[in-house]
Amino acid sequence: MKIMRAFVVAMAAVLTVSLGAPAAQAATWSSSDRWGTWSNGGYTVRNNIWGNGYGPQTIWANSYSNWGVWANHPNTGGIKSYPHSEKMVNRRLSSIGSLSSSFNVSYPNSGAYTTAYDIWANNNAYEIMLWMNKVGAVGPLGSWQASVSVGGHSWNVYRGSNGHNEVFSFVRTSNTGSGTVDIKAVMNWIRNRGWFGDVTVGAVQFGYEITSSSGGLNFTTNSFSVSGG
């Protein structure tokens, strides 16, 4: 009986571990390192735990398009991480005929975070954030500038500085877990406001900017891609 009881306990432990992180265990690549990085299909996937006071976080990926994160960051202020998939563009805005991106995510309704694009220009002098959904006590940097429909979505636009670069945050007026964004149209709108000129578009990143996820939450990117020419 002792042998049978030990076997049952051992099997229960294995089952618990398996159920705890099924995607990560089955994935092509995973990492719990703060700066874990994987290149695939011309994209880069990063764990990117860059903030202070962070907890454990594991990123997994089957491809640049299908990846996710389990994160258990404490319920404190300040951004802990921005796990993401990135595509480099490295072209002047005026030379780009089109630049768009599509995404589909499954996200929790607890914690504090935003699912967002982070687009960099002029060697990171400018940061353009596109908030597709937000949960909990999170908000954009800077002050409100305008409400606008551009790039296929309706946004509230904020402008500010983090001390290193200018930040333009486009916060979608309602949450969505999927869609397509015309990134060039958004950047042309900023240019037409006179906020920057004919910038060089660098990285287009998409991921989860996590402030808290106490108890452990799963964020899943079902699909993501950047296209243009």
Q: Is-contact 184 154, C-beta < 8 A?
A: no
Q: Is residue 33 in some structural domain?
A: yes
- Whether the per-residue pLDDT at 141 is higher than 70: the answer is yes
Q: How confident is the model at residue 26 (pLDDT cuts 50, 70, 90)?
A: confident
The residue-averaged pLDDT of 169-185 equals 98
pLDDT tens-digit series, residues 108-124: 999 999 999 999 999 99
Q: Is residue 168 in some structural domain?
A: yes
Q: Is residue 59 in some structural domain?
A: yes
The phi and psi torsions of 187 (rounded to 5 degrees) equal -70, -35
How many folded domains does the chain comprise?
1
Q: Is residue 43 in some structural domain?
A: yes
Q: Is residue 13 in some structural domain?
A: no
pTM metric for this prediction: 0.89
Per-residue pLDDT, 25: 56
Q: Is-contact 33 50, C-beta < 8 A?
A: no
Q: 215: domain CATH number?
A: 2.60.120.180
Half-sphere exposure of 170 (CA within 13 A, CB side): 24
Q: Is residue 184 in some structural domain?
A: yes
Q: Which domain holds residue 111?
A: 29-228
Q: Is residue 167 in some structural domain?
A: yes
pLDDT tens-digit series, residues 62-102: 999 999 999 999 999 999 999 999 999 999 999 999 999 99
Q: Is residue 142 in some structural domain?
A: yes
Q: How confident is the model at residue 24 (pLDDT cuts 50, 70, 90)?
A: low
